[in-house]
Structure 1
Amino acid sequence: MLPTTLSPVPLAPELSLYLVTQPVGLFDLTGGEFRSDQPPPFWAFAWAGGQALARFLLDHPHEVTGRRVLDVATGSGVAAIAAAHAGAAAVACTDIDPAAVEAAHRNAGANGLSLAGEVDLPQVVLAGDVFYSPAVAPRMVAQLRGFRDAGATVLVGDPGRGFFPERLFDLVTEYVVPVPAALEDTETLVTGIWRMRSSRN
């Protein structure tokens, strides 16, 4: 594990995460290169999409209270932890990087919460900052459509990454999210919360 510090989430200070607090970018932590056999440590940062989802769920707990929730591409787990804080019946998280799932469970514990290993038939699916590349976007669309078609509400936090398929979603609200300048080349990102439209739309 990288050296991290338990720190309040900028947009959701009710929650704290173990985060990298040095002024570094994502690939500064991997020697400046991307290795396909080892995902970069996305989990070490509170990305704008996850922060926005967390704020939305904390402010609108009825979206998840008493419901089974799955957070896909969880990263630090911030959205999953917010769902648990908001009273979800059970919350699980997935990520292609096992270190992210481990970090999410560790972060949940730091907030006095716990995440499930898995949930059957999730009723709400969360996805923060997942449309960041042309290779990932279509796979994510297919995955989220599958959950939606199985009856789940799909909520996405996206800060305008460029590969977000806006035509498939309705904008719910927006937040101005504080982000590390070393990570994003800016200090804030306007980030939307989007609800996936039904297949009939």
Structure 2
Amino acid sequence: MKRPGTPRPDPATFIQANLPISPVPSIPEIRLHTAGPASGLWRLAGRGEADPPPYWAYPWAGGAVLARHLLDRPETVAGRRVLDFGAGSGLVAIAAAKAGARAVTAVDIDVNAVAAIGLNAALNDVHIAAAATDIIDGPPPEETDLLLVGDLFYDPALALRAMAFVRRCQAGGIEVLIGDPERAHLPHRELNRIASHTVVDFGAGRGPVQAGVYSLV
């Protein structure tokens, strides 16, 4: 259980001390700080020990399939300004930078995720501008050519808001690519599947899944 009155540790210091570095399954070109059974993430999040772990601490299939796709098809991002939306660990942003993107920005609402993105970017020798901010109900981001969305369709309310945001981005001239292992609320009728890759998914008990890369209809 959560211990009241215990100060939260510095995120970067905690991550370096408690989340070991390992290659991402299916994407050995990228290494991340990844949580293990003894990481004690509840101390960093200020939650109880029985609460769900934060999403940024693990590689999820939606991000993994996008990362694999970008590394295999670097022309997708080469020379472009890329924004990783709901970036989590920064896996997709790192792949975009490695594939030759002109500039990469990663945004997430969790300040601990932003700390992890900074550490993970340094591990992989890439530069990423990371920010803890919520842009989902706002206008299309400026100076962005490509929006990357990994694994945001696990919750019905979030899925609706995410699709409204990516539609605004599309209307504003921004290309959108979505990575997803067919979570329950993925809006198939609004998407074209352009690629498939077998990746490992933390949400499937760390087993392999066939995940897709999608563009908007």
TM over 0.5: yes
Measured against aligned partners, the alpha-carbon deviations of 1:5-36 in whole angstroms (never above 9, x if no partner) come to: 11101111111010013399x99x852236xx
1:196 Cα shift?
Answer: 1.4
1:101 Cα shift?
Answer: 1.8
Give the Cα separation in 1 of the matches to 2:198 and 2:89.
Answer: 20
Give the Cα separation in 2 of the matches to 1:129 and 1:30.
Answer: 25
Match of 2:93 among 80, 92, 107: 80
The residue number in structure 2 matching 1:140 is 162
1:92 Cα shift?
Answer: 0.2
1:179 Cα shift?
Answer: 2.9
Amino acid at match of 1:101: V
> Is the counterpart of residue 93 in structure 1 residue 106 in structure 2?
yes
Match of 2:153 among 105, 116, 131: 131
Match of 1:65 among 64, 75, 78: 78
Give the Cα separation in 2 of the matches to 1:193 and 1:56.
Answer: 8
TM-score (normalizing by structure 1): 0.86
- Helix, strand or coil for the counterpart of 1:62? helix
> Is the counterpart of residue 5 in structure 1 residue 27 in structure 2?
no
Amino acid at match of 1:142: A
- Helix, strand or coil for the counterpart of 2:59? coil
Give the Cα separation in 1 of the matches to 2:125 and 2:51.
Answer: 36
The residue number in structure 2 matching 1:37 is none
Match of 1:120 among 142, 151, 172: 142
The residue number in structure 2 matching 1:31 is 49
Structure with larger Rg = 2
1:190 Cα shift?
Answer: 1.4
After TM superposition, the structure 1 = structure 2 runs for residues 13-52 of structure 1, keeping only pairs within 5 Å, are 13-22=28-37, 30-33=48-51, 40-52=53-65
The residue number in structure 1 matching 2:182 is 160
Measured against aligned partners, the alpha-carbon deviations of 1:57-94 in whole angstroms (never above 9, x if no partner) come to: 00000110000000000011100000000010000011
Whether the 8 Å CA contact 2:117–2:130 is kept in 1: the answer is no
Give the Cα separation in 2 of the matches to 1:166 and 1:32.
Answer: 34
Amino acid at match of 1:32: A
1:147 Cα shift?
Answer: 1.1
Match of 1:179 among 173, 184, 201: 201
